[in-house]
Structure 1
Amino acid sequence: MDVSPKDKFVTVYGRKPVLEALDDPSLDVDKVVLADTARGQAAREVLDAAARRGVPVQRATAQRVKVLAGNGKQDQGVLADVVAPRMRPLEVGLRSEPRTVLVLDGITTPANVGMILRTATAAGIEGIVVPRRGVASLDPLVVKASAGVAFRAPILKCATAAEAVAALRGLDYPVFALDAAARASVFTAELPARAAFVLGSETAGISDDVRPHVTGWLSIPMSAGVESLNVAGAAAVLCFEVARRRA
């Protein structure tokens, strides 16, 4: 299974997000990377904040910072790797046999990913699969939308959503997916205590390489001619229905 060394960090970039991370005593900042071209008051603020926390600062070329940040326009020459204590590779996370796993598939809007992380964590979901490909990266926009929960969410990392559902099926998890046309309602369908749920993109739905692994389809009943919910809204309904059944 493809494992990245960054699977234990949430990387934030830009002067303000980095300073906010350094000023939050509840966060464990592993390191700051500052472009060797960064000078002046902005760079001094970052260096001083890192010094107060005892966080090492590495200098790198501006291009290297862009590559590490994954954002060529908004990094402002600085990034910070924040330790995410509950984030781990999928293979490691599944060893604890989480009861409920949420898999994000093709959700590219950072605001949606952030809101889903916040909602699923609040509902007590034990594993949220955020693939490195096909889903918005865990950047400052996701962190902001999650209200900071992204740092503490039970995130499971892997390469693709298809890899995740294949691994889950290999461990005998039933895999349910949300689809507005499904006959079974999320409120009345029989749901095992141990299951995985896939959320697809609002435009394309569940991706073609994930569909063969789906064992059941669920819908959220709609009224007044409303066709569907925003994916983050659908995630909230699903996650708290799972939580309600456990109560």
Structure 2
Amino acid sequence: MYGRKPVLEALDDPALEVDKVILADTVRGPNAAEIQRAAKSAGVRVERASAHRVKVLAGNGKQDQGVLADVVAPRMRPLATALGSRAPERVLVLDGITTPANVGMILRTATAAGLGGVVVPRRGVAALDPLVVKASAGVAFRAPVLRCGTAREAAELLVEAGYGLYALGASGDGSLFDVDLPRRAAFVLGGETNGVSAEVAELVAGWVSIPMPGEVESLNVSAAAAVLSFELVRRAVTTRS
């Protein structure tokens, strides 16, 4: 997390665990003092680094304001690790979703629905930055985020692990509400402009769609993710009852 205000908010949030704050050696005066006071109050150490180092770590030289914080995300782990003996049964895969607001809202919705994992590749998807955190209303830090290099890599790992891989699209072969799902299933959510990428599409077992009697062409990807997530909740509740 980078930027003066987001870092101060993280330090002031008792629900978050901040490992450390890194402050550029060019940040002096009241701004530096404010951050140092907040960190001391939260029991968080402050390290000094060059302005260049802070920019490299933040990955955003225009908005870091010379300060960043390492915030602990306890449920974040590599996808390959998650596919072990206690692999999640239902997983979302983000493929080419580049709008931070959409990524943040999907993380919030999936966490609320109790899904076991959301694959957020490091390439081709919006970075997990303050814009994503803001859109998730802070939930991104405790979301079940699974990391890998690309959506294609995620698809290959999931198929190899025995998951049924489905893509969500307006022209899917069957309705989301009717499709029979295997015990483990992963759903690919495509980008805002181009949808599911060709390299991932060739690995999917089937395409499903959300019925829209109102003749709207498609939903925003975060809205579609919400429908999908809570359809999976409905199925789980029905199975238990």
TM-score bracket for the superposition, by shorter chain length: over 0.9
Partner of 1:118: 108
Segments of 5+ residues of structure 1 without an aligned counterpart are 1-11
Partner of 1:181: 171
**Counterpart-to-counterpart distance in 1, 2:225 and 2:53:** 36
Q: 1:43 aligns with which of 10, 26, 32?
A: 32
1:124-172 CA-partner distances (Å, limit 9, x unpaired): 1101101111111111110110011001000001111111110000011
In the alignment, structure 1 residue 239 sits paired with structure 2 residue 225: no
Q: Which amino acid in structure 2 is aligned with residue 195 of structure 1?
A: A
Contact 2:164 2:181 in 1 (8 A): no
Partner of 2:136: 146
Partner of 1:92: 81
The equivalences for 1:63-142 within 5 A come to: 63-95=52-84, 96-142=86-132
Q: 1:169 aligns with which of 147, 159, 170?
A: 159
**Counterpart-to-counterpart distance in 2, 1:129 and 1:198:** 9
In the alignment, structure 1 residue 212 sits paired with structure 2 residue 236: no
Task: Report the identity percentage.
Answer: 69
Partner of 1:7: none
CA RMSD of aligned residues (A): 0.9
Cα drift, residue 64 of structure 1 = 1.3
**Counterpart-to-counterpart distance in 2, 1:236 and 1:224:** 18
Partner of 1:58: 47
Q: Which amino acid in structure 2 is aligned with residue 46 of structure 1?
A: I
In the alignment, structure 1 residue 203 sits paired with structure 2 residue 201: no
Following TM superposition, where does structure 1 have runs of at least 4 consecutive aligned residues deviating by more than 6 angstroms?
none
Secondary structure, counterpart of 2:219 in structure 1: coil
**Counterpart-to-counterpart distance in 2, 1:196 and 1:225:** 27
Secondary structure, counterpart of 2:41 in structure 1: helix
Partner of 2:17: 28
**Counterpart-to-counterpart distance in 2, 1:28 and 1:224:** 45
Cα drift, residue 115 of structure 1 = 0.2
Secondary structure, counterpart of 1:13 in structure 2: coil
Cα drift, residue 223 of structure 1 = 2.5
**Counterpart-to-counterpart distance in 1, 2:99 and 2:80:** 26
Partner of 1:158: 148
**Counterpart-to-counterpart distance in 2, 1:131 and 1:50:** 31
**Counterpart-to-counterpart distance in 2, 1:167 and 1:225:** 36
In the alignment, structure 1 residue 221 sits paired with structure 2 residue 216: no
1:172-202 CA-partner distances (Å, limit 9, x unpaired): 1010001111120101111223101100012
Normalised to the residue count of structure 1, the TM-score between the two structures is 0.93
Contact 2:20 2:69 in 1 (8 A): yes
1:58-113 CA-partner distances (Å, limit 9, x unpaired): 11111211111111111110000100011111111121211101110000000000
Segment of structure 1 superposing worse, 119-128 or 55-64: 55-64
